[in-house]
């Protein structure tokens, strides 16, 4: 029996859990909190040159003040397409073209919209938790396979506890980030 059949690749499991946490951070960054941020435009794709392209590949994005995002579109022919993509994105922002610049004034969020956004943040967090639990399940499956390959009960228990500890830490991290994001959204 090969010894590495009895080893669990916790580094790979940790990488996958970290991937779920990074995806959550990106989703949280795209949520509008009433403050301007360049990352809120990350999910928006523009039909440019025959393919869908992220806005940050069509111009320079700046945040000159807390309630304003400015996009300096490099190709003047793309301005109307970028404007249209922002309008149709569901962000609730009305772009204003000003020569090569597109100004995005960020409106104040009302109470109802803030509550909706906290629910969306909670859904993103739940998705991350599901992904983390799936990684945990894969780890536990590896342990079961190693058991049938001859892993002792003590080793099996040790690996199970390590995988569970990794999972608990990742879930705590998700909960902590969710609490921070919801506080940021509800802040007036």
126 falls in which pLDDT band (50, 70, 90)? Answer: very high
Bridge-partner residues for 71, per DSSP? 61, 102
pLDDT of residue 159: 92
HSE toward the beta carbon, residue 6, CA cutoff 13 A: 14
What is the average pLDDT score of the chain? 87
The strand pairing partners of 45, in sequence order, are 54
pLDDT, tens only, 60-81:
999 998 889 999 999 888 999 9
Q: Are residues 90 and 119 in the same domain?
A: no
Domain boundary among 58, 74, 105: 105
Domain holding 58, by residue range, is 35-105
What gap in Å lies between CA 1 and CA 83, rounded to an integer? 63
Which pLDDT score is estimated for 1? 38
DSSP letters for 17-61: HHHHHHHHHHHHHHS--SS--GGGGTT-EEEETTEEEEGGGTEEE
Residues 164 and 74 in one domain: no
CATH code: domain of residue 144: 1.10.132.20
pTM of the predicted structure, to 2 decimals: 0.69
- Say if residue 177 is in the same domain as residue 123: yes
Q: Is residue 90 domain-shared with residue 126, that is, in the same domain? A: no
Domain count, the chain: 2
Looking at the structure, do residues 132 and 149 belong to the same domain, yes or no? yes
Let me know whether 142 and 122 are in one domain.
Answer: yes
Pairing state between β 68-73 and 101-105: antiparallel
pLDDT the model gives residue 2: 44
Mean local confidence (pLDDT), 21-46: 82
Helices H / strands E in the chain, number of each? 4, 6
Domain at 47, CATH number:
3.30.1360.40
pLDDT score recorded for residue 38? 81
| 46 and 138, same domain (yes or no) | no
In this prediction, what percent of the chain has a pLDDT beyond 70?
Answer: 94
* CA 105/CA 64 separation, integer angstroms: 11
Given 105, 122, 145, the domain boundary residue is: 105
């Amino acid at each position: 029996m090969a010894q590495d059949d009895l080893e669990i690749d916790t580094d790979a499991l940790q990488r996958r859990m970290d991937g779920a946490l990074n995806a959550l951070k990106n989703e949280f960054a795209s949520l509008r909190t009433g403050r301007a941020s360049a990352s809120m435009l990350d999910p928006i794709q523009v039909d440019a040159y025959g393919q869908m392209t992220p806005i940050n590949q069509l111009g320079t994005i700046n945040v000159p003040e807390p309630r304003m995002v400015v996009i300096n579109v490099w190709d003047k022919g793309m301005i109307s397409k970028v404007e249209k993509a922002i309008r149709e994105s569901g962000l609730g922002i009305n772009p204003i073209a000003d020569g090569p610049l597109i100004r995005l004034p960020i409106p104040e969020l009302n109470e109802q919209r803030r509550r909706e956004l906290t629910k969306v943040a909670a859904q993103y967090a739940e998705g991350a938790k599901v992904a983390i639990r799936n990684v945990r399940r894969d780890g536990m499956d590896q342990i079961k396979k190693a058991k049938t390959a001859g892993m002792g009960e003590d080793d099996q228990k040790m690996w199970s506890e390590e995988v569970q500890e990794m999972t608990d830490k990742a879930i705590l991290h998700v909960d902590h980030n969710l609490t921070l994001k919801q506080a940021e959204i509800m802040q007036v």
